Amino acid sequence: MLPVEIRTARLLLDLPVPADADDVTRFCQDPLFQRYLTTPWPYTRAHAESFLTTYVPSGWASASELTWAIRAEHGGPLLGVVSVRETQNEIGFWMGSEHRGHGLMSEAAAAVCDWVLAGGIDGASTVFWRAVEGNTASAKVARSAGFRRIEPADATVPTRDGSTLPAWYGVREAEIDPRAEASWSGILEGAA
Ligand SMILES: CC(C)(COP(=O)(O)OP(=O)(O)OC[C@H]1O[C@@H](n2cnc3c(N)ncnc32)[C@H](O)[C@@H]1OP(=O)(O)O)[C@@H](O)C(=O)NCCC(=O)NCCS
């Protein structure tokens, strides 16, 4: 698949490129990434270069994982990353620490879901989200992006050492389920 650009009210989602290596290296030093993501730890510039020159382009070429850079404008600095894996159309995301708290990831995640479910990925009728239990910021993004929380038995997420941790799960359909927002009340307080 060829890389696709997605525009939102405030953002441009496009291809992460080798020139983003410094920003990716810096943002991936965040201790939250050690706790909640499977990005390498400790994270080096070589990891960022391999991500940008190999992992991202081959993910698009094989359609196994579609990864976007989140920017404010064409040629602007990378603010964060959002991706969708072929397996279960699972969404993943991170935002550089200094760019959080402005609703940008909610906006980016909603736009990616809309694109996937409008035919961007052939035959996709749901997008799947999961996070390590306790990752409230990620759950709030999922809630804002229209996901409905689901509670299957044995909900887990893999960690970087190959073990698993208890996880929160959600699904998003093209038409946002009317029960979606209320489904988060067990783990999140207040309305979105
Ligand atoms: C999860 C993450 C992407 C959210 O990014 P963000 O840009 O702050 O997201 P938004 O601004 O769209 O905020 C979404 C909601 O989370 C809330 N939020 C942001 N940071 C938070 C925190 N540390 N704790 C609790 N809530 C938080 C916001 O107030 C907002 O709440 P609302 O929906 O009630 O308005 C970011 O915290 C991050 O990169 N975390 C580390 C990586 C990670 O955990 N990724 C997800 C793996 S599943």
Q: Kindly report, residue by residue over 72-92, the tens digit of the pLDDT.
A: 999 999 999 999 999 999 999
CA of 97 to the centre of ligand 1 (A): 10
Task: Take atom 7 of ligand 1 and give the residue whose Cα is closest.
Answer: 100
Residue 170 pairs in a beta bridge with: 129, 149
Q: Quick: pLDDT tens for 134-175.
A: 999 999 999 999 999 999 999 999 999 999 999 999 999 999
Q: Rounded CA gap, 116 and 4, in Å?
A: 11
- In the chain, % of residues over pLDDT 70: 99
What single DSSP character describes residue 177?
A: P
- Does the pLDDT value for residue 113 go beyond 60? yes
| pLDDT of residue 186 exceeding 60 | yes
Give the rounded distance of the alpha carbon of 32 from its chain centre: 14
The predicted pLDDT at position 38 comes to 97
The token duo for 120 is 């961007």
Buried b (16+ CB within 10 A) or exposed e, 20-51: bbebbbebbebeebeebbebbeebeeebbeeb
Average of per-residue pLDDT values in the chain: 97
Indicate the SS3 state at residue 24.
helix
Residues in Cβ contact with 105 at an 8 Å cutoff, skipping those fewer than 6 apart: 70, 80, 82, 93, 95, 141
Q: Is the pLDDT of residue 192 over 80?
A: no
Report the share of the chain in percent with pLDDT over 90. 98
Average of per-residue pLDDT across 47-54: 98
CATH for 6-184, among 3.10.20.440, 3.40.50.300, 3.90.550.10, 3.40.630.30? 3.40.630.30
**For range 95-114, the mean pLDDT:** 98
Residue nearest to atom 3 of ligand 1 (CA): 94
Strands (E), the chain: 6-7, 12-14, 65-71, 80-85, 90-95, 126-132, 148-150, 156-158, 164-173
Q: Which residues line ligand 1 (CB under 6 A)?
A: 32-33, 36-37, 93-95, 100-106, 131, 135-138, 140-141, 144, 192
Q: Return the pLDDT at 189.
A: 86
Dist CA 138 CA 13 (whole Å): 19
pLDDT at 191 over 70: no
Question: Crossing angle of helices 136-144/104-115, nearest 10°?
Answer: 50
Stretch 45-64: mean pLDDT: 98
- In one letter, which amino acid is 74? H
